[in-house]
Amino acid sequence: MRVAVFGAGAIGGYLAAKLALAGRVDLSVVARGAHLEAIKADGFRLIEGGKETIAPVRAAARAEEFGVQDYVVLALKAHSLAPALEQIAPLLGPDTAVVTMQNGVPWWYFYKAGGALEGTRLAAVDPAGTIWKRLRPERVIGSVVYPAVEVDAPGLIRHVEGTRFSLGEPSGEKSERVAALARELVKAGLQAPVREDIRSEIWIKLWGNLSFNPISALTGSTLAAIVADEGTRALARAMMLEAQAIGEHLGVRFPVAVDRRIKGAGDVGEHKTSMLQDLERGRPMEIDALVTAVQELGRLTGQPTPTIDSVLALVRRLAIERGCY
């Protein structure tokens, strides 16, 4: 099995290191900069459970060095995908599967979704339909990523918690290609459940990201602080209820009550969301995939989103002012 990980940041690096240590797949990693140089020199250094392990991998800046793959794992952020399409192209053959590991509403959301919106392209995450046309949704295996991982230095990946990478075909079928990939992840020491309804699981994670990420960026607060404060907790709850109405209109099941989901976020503790970390580091923020796309889904389904609209306007303005949008 030929597997290429495109985007070797925290999640991509962790996945690549685990697959490399298992030694079962023909693994390639597309990376850049100091991170790439460190990986080429010493492999990935993975700190997990207090122990450091070296995972040698084949890495390069140009995907054409690796050729056509069986699976391409896209582990870069949603806003980085369209600019990377030309670089991804050499990895794709007629039967290559593309595993999307971006947070937020995916560009392929309405592929094989059924209903009146079947085939709808989402402008928030794929403005010109370019990703849909170039990657092709029939390649897609959806994924919801749960591990908490950090890059402590170039080539140095530190695992904090979690090993689950949920997988699912947009159609809901349990295909051989998704089953085969799940088997390899499990043999690499990861959890890889195959879901019949990957969209519902995407929404459960999105539910928190939609609300806590922008509130965190606007206030500079951690998850614990947002939940502990009556005002910001109520703001997050209002956003989540608006999103729940949209999701349920689209047939999504929310097996967790909103207040329990909020408590779970607070229990994470003094953690800065990824959007706040990006703002502090002057990096592009994942506003469109996490928030704008939900607003767009509200428009498509006729569901009002007044709280989401207000928070989106504020966080987008902040990001523009800071050069992060």
Active site residue ranges? 205
Non-local (6+) Cβ contacts of 60 within 8 A are: 28, 29, 30, 31, 36, 66
Q: Report DSSP letters for 183-227, one per residue.
A: HHHHHTT-B-PBPS-HHHHHHHHHHHHHHHHHHHHHHT--HHHHH
CA distance 182 to 141: 11
Query: Would you give the distance in Å from CA 178 to the centre of its chain?
Result: 18
The token pair at 241 is 């209820």
DSSP state of 279: H
Measure CA of the first residue to CA of the last residue in the chain; give whole Å.
Answer: 38
**CA-closest candidate to residue 163, choices 148, 152, 150, 151:** 148
Give φ, ψ of 289 to 5 degrees: -70, -30
Reduced to 3 states (helix: H, G, I; strand: E, B; else coil), residue 35 is helix
Helix and strand numbers, DSSP H then E, in the chain: 13, 11
In whole angstroms, give the CA distance from residue 235 to residue 51: 41
How far is residue 72 from each of residues 3, 48, 202, 221, measured CA to CA in Å? 6, 25, 20, 36
What phi-psi label fits residue 253: left (phi over 0), alpha (psi between -120 and 50 degrees) or beta? beta
